[in-house]
Amino acid sequence: MVAPRLVSQDESVPVHPDQNPRHPLVIFGDHRFCAGEALLVQRMPGPHMHSQIELNFVLEGDMTYWFDGRELTVGKGRLCLFWGMIPHQVIDRAEGTRFVCLYVPMSFFLGLANLTRFRDAVFRGAMIEATELRPYDHDIFLRWREELLAGDEGLTEIVRNELTARVLRIERDGWRDLREEGSAIASLDHHDGERIENVERMLRFIAENALDDISADDVGRDAGLHPNYAMTLFKRAVGLTINQAIVRHRLDTAQSLLIATDLSITDVAFESGFGSASRFYEAFSERFNEKPTAFRKRMRSKGGAPSGRSRQ
**Mean of the pLDDT values across residues 163-183?**
80
Q: Which domains does the chain have, with CATH numbers?
A: 6-177 (2.60.120.280), 190-307 (1.10.10.60)
Angle among Cα 186, 165, 202 to the nearest 5 degrees reads 40
Compute, in degrees rounded to 10, the torsion defined by CA atoms 26, 253, 87, 101: -20
Is the confidence at residue 30, as pLDDT, over 60? no
Q: Predicted confidence band at 31 (pLDDT cuts at 50, 70, 90)?
A: low
What pLDDT does 214 receive?
Answer: 94
What pLDDT does 306 receive?
Answer: 42
List all residues 6 or more positions away from 229 whose beta carbon is below 8 Å from its beta carbon.
220
What pLDDT does 192 receive?
Answer: 59
Task: Answer whether 0.75 is exceeded by the pTM.
Answer: no
| Nearest C-alpha neighbor of 215 from the set 233, 241, 195, 240 | 241
C-alpha of 63 from chain center: 17
Helix (H, G, I), strand (E, B) or coil at 1: coil
In degrees and rounded to multiples of 5, residue 247 shows phi and psi of: -65, -40
**Mean of the pLDDT values across residues 132-156?**
94
- DSSP letters of 140-178? HHHHHHHHHHHT-HHHHHHHHHHHHHHHHHHHHH-EEET
d(CA 225, CA 233) in angstroms, rounded, equals: 10
Q: Which of 30-34, 81-85, 231-235 has the lowest mean pLDDT?
A: 30-34
Mean pLDDT of the chain: 80
Please answer whether residues 22 and 271 qualify as being in contact, where contact means their C-beta atoms are separated by less than 8 angstroms. yes
